Amino acid sequence: MTVRKGVAVAGLVLLSLSGCSPTDPGNLDDVTEAMQANRGKWRSQGIDSYEFVLRRLCFCAGGTDPARLLVRSGTRLSVTDVTTGQPIPAEWAQYYPTVDGLFEFIADAIAQKAHSIEVEYHAVLGYPTSIRIDYIENAIDEEMAFEASALLPHR
């Protein structure tokens, strides 16, 4: 990695840590408005090739280890375990969405009128950095969450 690329990565990481804007989990209109605004911000960047780290947090099959996703022209090319550097098995890799897939995940939770939807977005790029969804109040183990970080655009 060049010094210039390293500085860009560090800058994006700092921005993602400092520029989050949580939504009100009790108000679907606010969640919808924030999602639409940030999806627009993401699209306006014109970034369709990038890499980022994504972690799934759930009581579910398909793996929950942090993974580095490589995306080219909007298509997920690889999903690699951050700790081991090994590819995530194909049957589990499908559970690690691209940034557009994260927006679709949020939109689906809104359409299903999930009990609680909490989302934080990157202040500059607009992609979701933290998503926490509780579909049914008082149900056990149906919650789903994602944490995204270290997004590096490839131009």
Whole-number pLDDT of residue 122: 98
Residue with tokens 């940034």: 99
Residue with tokens 């960047």: 45
Residue 110 has pLDDT above 90, yes or no: yes
Three-state DSSP state, 149: strand
| Residue 96 and residue 55 in contact, taking contact as beta carbons nearer than 8 Å | no
Return mean pLDDT, the chain.
Answer: 84
Angstrom distance (rounded) from CA 108 to CA 52: 22
| Residue 50 and residue 148 in contact, taking contact as beta carbons nearer than 8 Å | no
51: confidence class by pLDDT, cuts 50, 70, 90: very high
Give the percent of the chain with pLDDT over 90: 65
143: confidence class by pLDDT, cuts 50, 70, 90: confident
19: confidence class by pLDDT, cuts 50, 70, 90: very low
Domains of the chain with CATH codes: 3-153 (2.50.20)
E strands, 15-155, are 50-58, 67-72, 75-81, 116-121, 128-134, 144-153
Instruction: Read off the pLDDT of residues 89-104 as tens digits, 9 standing for 90 and up.
Output: 888 898 999 999 999 9
| Residue 77 and residue 71 in contact, taking contact as beta carbons nearer than 8 Å | yes
